[in-house]
Structure 1
Amino acid sequence: MTSDADLIRLLHERHGALLWAVAMRTTADPGRAQDAVQETLVRAWRHVDALDESRGDPRPWLLRTLRNVLIDEWRARSVRPEVLVDDVGEPDLAVADHADAAAQAWVVDAALARLSPEHRAVLAECYYRGRSVREAAAVLGVPPGTVKSRTHYALRALRLVLEEMGIGV
Structure 2
Amino acid sequence: MKKIKLFTTLSLFLLIIMGCKQTVTDITSEKRAVEAVIDNYARSWITEDIELYSSTMMHDESLIHVGGSQALNWIEGWTELEEIIIKQNQSFNNTDIDETKAWINFSQSGKIAWAVTLWDLTTTLNDGTQCLIPLRCTWILEKKDESWIIVHFHKSIGIKTVRDYAIEK
Which TM-score bucket, shorter chain as reference? Answer: under 0.3
TM-score, normalised on structure 1? 0.26
Q: Quick one: higher RCO (CA 8 Å, sep 6+), 1 or 2?
A: 1
Larger helix share, 1 or 2? 1
Larger strand share, 1 or 2? 2
TM-score, normalised on structure 2? 0.26
